[in-house]
A and B are shown apart, each in its own frame.
Chain A
Amino acid sequence: MCLAIPGKIEKIKPSEDPLFTTAVVQIGGVTQEVNISMIPSAKKGDYILVHVGIGISIIDEEEAQKTLQMIQDLS
C-alpha cells in the first residue's frame, strides 16, 4: 500500500488555496491529475513519486545516476 510510482510533470495547475495545487502527471503513458501541495518546489519536467494521488517526493536525477553508476562499477 505504500507503493509510490514515478511520473513526469507535464503541467502545473496552481490553485488559490495551495492545498489544492495539482499537476498533470504522465505515469507510464497514462496522464493523471496529482496533488502536489506537499512538493511545492516541483516544476514542469520533474519526475515525482506519486502515492494515493499525491506527490510525495521529487526524484533526484543526479542521485539516480550516481546509484546506477556505483552499481555498474562494482567489480
Chain B
Amino acid sequence: MIRHIHEYRQPDLVKKLIHQIDKEVTRDWYIMEICGGQTHSLVKNGILDILPKQVNMIHGPGCPVCVTPQSIIDLAIELASRKDVVLCTYGDMVRVPGKNGSLLSAKARGGQVKICYSPLEAVQWAKSHPEKEIVFLAVGFETTSPAHALALSQARNLGLPNFSMLQSHVLVPPAMKAILDDPNHIINGFLAAGHVCAISGMHDYYEIAKNYKAPIVATGFEPVDLLWGILKCVEMLEKNQFEVTNQYGRAVDISGNQAAQQISTEVFELSDKEWRGLGCIPNSGLKIKTSYEAYDAFKKFNLSPKKEEESKCEAGLVLKGLKKPNECPFFGHACTPGQPMGAPMVSSEGACAAYYHYHYQSINT
C-alpha cells in the first residue's frame, strides 16, 4: 500500500464521484485528457465504462513516446550501430518502430543500447566509461525536460566530454492550441496533465481557456483524481464557465516548480517541433542552447533528421481525438503491440496499446 496513491483508489469515493457527475451532466460533453498516463489509468481502471454516457473522454497527444518522430528513432539506431557509442534511453523507447526496426532490434544486431530508469544513470555511466561516447535519447514533455536539463548540467559540472543528448522535447500548451485550431475538433474541455502542471504551473492555460472557451482542470492520475477532475470540468461546462482550476492540489502549486523551470531554461530554449502524427507545430518544442552545444548529439555527430515518411498509421486522427483507437482499420489486425504500425501501439501509455491491452468493451460492440 503506497500512501498518496491508495486513498485515491477507494471504491466508495469513486461511487460518490460517479453519482455526482451523473447528477450534474445534462447533455453530451467531450473532454480531452491530455496525458497518456491518464489515458492508461482511465482504460485500465474501467472508468470509461462507468462514466455517464454523456461524458465522452477523448484521448490526447500527451504520450511523448507516441509523438516522437520516426526520424529521431532512426538517428538513434544509426548512433547505436557505431562502435564507439552506447545509446542510453528509457525502456519505453526501445520498441518504437523506426524505418528499419526498433532500437531493440538494433541491439539484437549488435548495437549498443542500454535501458536507463533515469538520465542521471547515463551521466554516471559516461563517468565510469570514458572510452565510450554515451548518448542519451531524451524524449518528454515539461515533466521530464528539467530532468534532462539536470543531466546536462551535471555532465558539464563533471567535465564529461563523452556525454551528449539526442533530444526531442515537446510542450503541452502549443499542442492544445493546435488541436483547438483544427476546425474539425469536438473538444469542450480539458484535463491538464498533473505532472506537467507540477513543473510548469498553470499560467499558460488561462489564455487558452478564455480564448477557446474551454475549461481546463489540472488533474492527477488515480481513479479518484481523474473523476474529481472530470466532475469539475463537467460542472464548469454546465455553467458555461471557461476557467482554469487545480484539482491536484497535493502535487501542483499553480506557479509550478521554480527550480525545475530555472534549470530547464538554463539549458533549453523554444523551437518549432515536428510531432509524429500531428506535423510541425511552431514553438512547441525545445532545443539545446548554444551554451550547451557541446552536449548536443545533433551537433556532435553532425546529424540531421530526414523527412518524415508517409505512414498508413492513423495516429494523427487518434491523437487529435477525431478517431478512437479501435476505429482505426489496422487496430488489432495489422497493428498490435507485438507488431506495431505506429507509436501509440507501442507505449503502454499510447491510446492504441491501452485499448488493446485492457480489451475495452467498445472494441467488440
Contact = CB atoms under 8 A, between A and B. Distances in A.
Interface residues of B, number: 56
A4 B248 CA distance: 13
Interface string B131-165: 00000000111011011001001100100000000
A5 B259 CA distance: 19
A49 B118 CA distance: 14
Interface stretch (B51-59, B62-70, B79-87, B312-320): B62-70
Nearest to A3: B37
Nearest to B63: A1
Contacts of B221: 3
Given A4-B143, A35-B150, A52-B119, A63 B2 contact: no
B120 A1 contact: no
Give the contact-size bracket for chain A.
35 or more
Interface of A: 1-6, 8, 17, 19-20, 27-28, 35, 37-40, 47, 49, 51-54, 56-57, 59-61, 63-64, 66-68, 71-72, 74
Interface of B: 1-5, 7, 13, 16-17, 19-20, 35-37, 62-65, 90, 92, 117-121, 139-141, 143-144, 146-147, 150, 153-154, 157, 193, 195-196, 198-199, 221, 224, 228, 247, 249-253, 257, 259-260, 263, 347, 349
20 contacts: A1-B90, A1-B347, A2-B35, A2-B193, A3-B37, A3-B221, A4-B143, A19-B157, A20-B154, A47-B3, A52-B144, A53-B119, A53-B120, A54-B118, A54-B146, A57-B198, A57-B251, A57-B252, A60-B251, A71-B13
Across the A-B interface, give the 10 residue pairs with the lowest CB-CB distance, nearest first.
A53-B118, A63-B249, A64-B250, A6-B4, A2-B143, A57-B198, A28-B2, A38-B260, A63-B250, A38-B259
